[in-house]
Structure 1
Amino acid sequence: MGLKADLRKSALTQRRALSQQEIRTLSLQIADRFFAGFAPTAGETVHTFLPILQHSEINTWPIIERIWQEFPAVQVAVPVANAQDFSMTHFLFTPGTQLQENKWGIPEPVNALPLPESEITTVLVPLVAFDLNGHRVGYGKGFYDRFLALLPQTSQKLGLALFPPVEPIDDVHAKDLTLDAVITPEQVWRFGASSAKS
């Protein structure tokens, strides 16, 4: 069994050892698997995080730009974090949307159209590590735990991970939601009713 704090520390060390080129290559592989297994359809809204590239996070820009180019009837949404109560609000993200960095260096939209959680059909969830039960280790602030709890039950919760699953997470909390799947460069790990890996 593993504790979140220990798993987080180990995974971040492993991630920082990757070069920027390795991050880009792995991110492109994740993008390909997303479109192969979870390509959005007209009228859907895909919510994604914007990466802090200097922190070796998965680069979601290939997914965003491909949606803009190949799926014009699909909306992209991105979050803005509220540091006071660890909540997030969500905004329509288009090629013309201006961005500015927040206190954590995360790009956030400026003067964008707000979107309610009820419109979000798929969420690309950032994580540091995940286990075979579909539980994730994040950065420890709880932003996504609060957000995911507000989504319609039909919304897909897809984690994006650079590395395979870790040993089972020991300190899972009652409010921790299970992901529907996690996309890694090598394969897709599915949980719940459709738990076969692909």
Structure 2
Amino acid sequence: MLKAHLRKAYLAKRRNLSEAEVEDMSLQIANRFFEDFQPVKGQTVHVFLPILHHREINTWRIIHKLWEQFPEVRVATSVSHLEDCSMTHFLITPETKLVTNRWGIPEPVQAQQITEQEIDLVLVPLLVFDLQGHRVGYGKGFYDRFLAFLPKTSQKRGLSLEPPVPKIEDVHPLDLILDAVITPQQTFWF
């Protein structure tokens, strides 16, 4: 299928999930993340902050466990700039103040800014992915631009509520392939 068709279909699927279903799947994804990833002192893990009313994966489970059990690991998130589809990255701690922007996205205020070169692992939001490691997001290209600036050693792991489709038909040659995608049922490695 084409990205536009997949985006429409998987947005509809997500809207049909209950809050309880998303919470249950988010817990399974968080548990699987910590089974597959052993944080190392000094690493920086970039996590998207969920728009919960859009039925996005609740990444707060991962963030809180990193803060509580791996305090030597830095947690970062981004502020999106719609005028040029870029992102600025900031460290967040339990004390970081967050405000919700006009699109419903929580964003840090007065946090320490970091560069892409400081990020070791990115948890990437997506709507659907294929068996080759390609993803379909919301279609604005924020993460495609961001991921292109990462060091080659940085890991890119998607989080998905849904299993993969066989193939996304209209993949662009410059589209980045994820290193892995974590679903409630299993982790797919690429």
Partner of 1:122: 121
1:13 aligns with 2:12: yes
1:88 aligns with 2:78: no
Which amino acid in 1 is paired with 2:51? Answer: I
Partner of 1:34: 33
Task: State the secondary structure of the residue aligned to 2:80.
Answer: strand
Partner of 1:149: 148
TM-score with structure 1 setting the length: 0.95
Partner of 2:42: 43
CA offsets 1:135-190 (integer angstroms, 9 cap, x no match): 00000000000000000000000000001001311111122100000000000000
Flag structure 1 segments of 5+ consecutive residues without an equivalent.
192-198
CA offsets 1:23-77 (integer angstroms, 9 cap, x no match): 0110000000100001211110000100000000000000000000000100000
Task: State the secondary structure of the residue aligned to 1:54.
Answer: helix
User: Does the 8 Å CA contact 1:145/1:175 hold for their aligned counterparts?
Assistant: no
Separation in structure 2 between the aligned mates of residue 98 and residue 126 of structure 1, nearest angstrom: 22
Q: How many residues align?
A: 190
Separation in structure 1 between the aligned mates of residue 56 and residue 142 of structure 2, nearest angstrom: 17
Which amino acid in 1 is paired with 2:73? Answer: V
Partner of 1:196: none
Write out the 4+ residue segments of structure 1 that deviate beyond 2 Å after TM superposition. Answer: none
Alignment of 1:93-104 (within 5 A): 93-104=92-103
Task: State the secondary structure of the residue aligned to 2:178.
Answer: coil
Which amino acid in 1 is paired with 2:144? Answer: D
Flag structure 2 segments of 5+ consecutive residues without an equivalent.
none
Q: CA deviation at 1:103?
A: 2.4
